[in-house]
Amino acid sequence: MTKQVTTTAVDLGPKLIVALDYPDANSALTMAKQLSPEFCRVKVGKELFTASGPHIVEQLQILGFDVFLDLKYHDIPNTCAGAVRAAANLGVWMVNVHAQGGRRMMEAAKNAIVSSNTNTLLIAVTVLTSMQQEDLSGLGIAINLDQYVATLAQLANECGLDGVVCSAFEASSMVNRFGSNFLRVTPGVRPSNSVKGDQRRVMTPAEAVNAGSSHIVVGRPITQADDPGEASAAVVAELSC
């Protein structure tokens, strides 16, 4: 029998996370200043963090934003734990690892969070929303995509993580299996009037929340809009319906 952990990662803040996928700090901060920390959090990914380092996290926090540091750590347990500890010491709201790193890596990462004595949340990536069944097959993974996501999510739960990054299509099953306090952070969300881009498994914001997403990540439909503030407000309004 597999162990299930009861998580207490209740989060009552904004459900919208805006992806600041920019190559430099000035561009990211210019965008952030058009948004409101009252209505959204922001995500700092690999490109922006590599270009700007911890400074960009600090500057976004000064503006009042909770920061999701989306670096998807995947390494040997000791190295991953050190990276997660450093992220927690930056005071980020949330950080993530790849569930495919396995049990020992995720347990080490969780222990690093606990020892940091911070409120940083730790979640795990299951399967990227840009991937479909044929992509798994190309990696030699024969298991059905939905089953693979469920297996990785179960492992993350057993390791005491606060939730997962998953497609909105998998969110309802996460609630059914692990309860509503196990966070379901879903990229691949597109307002109905926007293009899918390179995301394949997508839903609108309202559809995603109705399907069980606890938080949604939206990037280009907001950051490339003529009025990003208005675009983000429209998404928030849709989430409230």
Q: Which of 15, 66, 72, 110 is catalytic?
A: 72
Active site residue 70: yes
Q: Does the annotation list 177 as a binding residue?
A: no
Q: Which of 15, 66, 70, 110 is catalytic?
A: 70
Q: Does the annotation list 77 as a binding residue?
A: yes
Q: Which of 11, 75, 135, 146 is catalytic?
A: 75
Active site residue 66: no
Q: Does the annotation list 198 as a binding residue?
A: no
Q: Does the annotation list 220 as a binding residue?
A: yes
Distance of CA 144 to the CA centre of its chain: 23
Q: Does the annotation list 74 as a binding residue?
A: yes
DSSP letter, residue 181 = T
Residue found by looking up tokens 């969300």 in the block = 189
Q: Alpha carbon of 106 to those of 156, 179, 180: distances in Å?
A: 7, 20, 21
Structure tokens belonging to residue 195: 């293009």
Q: Does the annotation list 215 as a binding residue?
A: no
Q: Does the annotation list 104 as a binding residue?
A: no
DSSP letter, residue 189 = B
In our burial notation (b when 16+ CB lie closer than 10 A, e otherwise), range 35-69 reads bbbebbbbbbbeebbeebeeebbebbbeeebbbbb
170 burial type by CB count under 10 A (0-12 exposed, 13-18 middle, 19+ buried): buried
Q: Does the annotation list 73 as a binding residue?
A: yes
Contact 106, 156 (CB under 8 A): yes
Q: Does the annotation list 71 as a binding residue?
A: yes
Active site residue 227: no
Tally of CB atoms within 10 A around 70:
25
Q: Does the annotation list 148 as a binding residue?
A: no
Q: Are strands 94-98 and 121-125 parallel, antiparallel or unpaired?
A: parallel
Helix axes 25-32, 54-62, angle to 10 degrees: 20
Q: Does the annotation list 70 as a binding residue?
A: yes
Annotated binding site for substrate: 21, 43, 70-79, 129, 190, 199, 219-220
**Which residues form the catalytic set?**
70, 72, 75
> Binding-site residues, please?
21, 43, 70-79, 129, 190, 199, 219-220
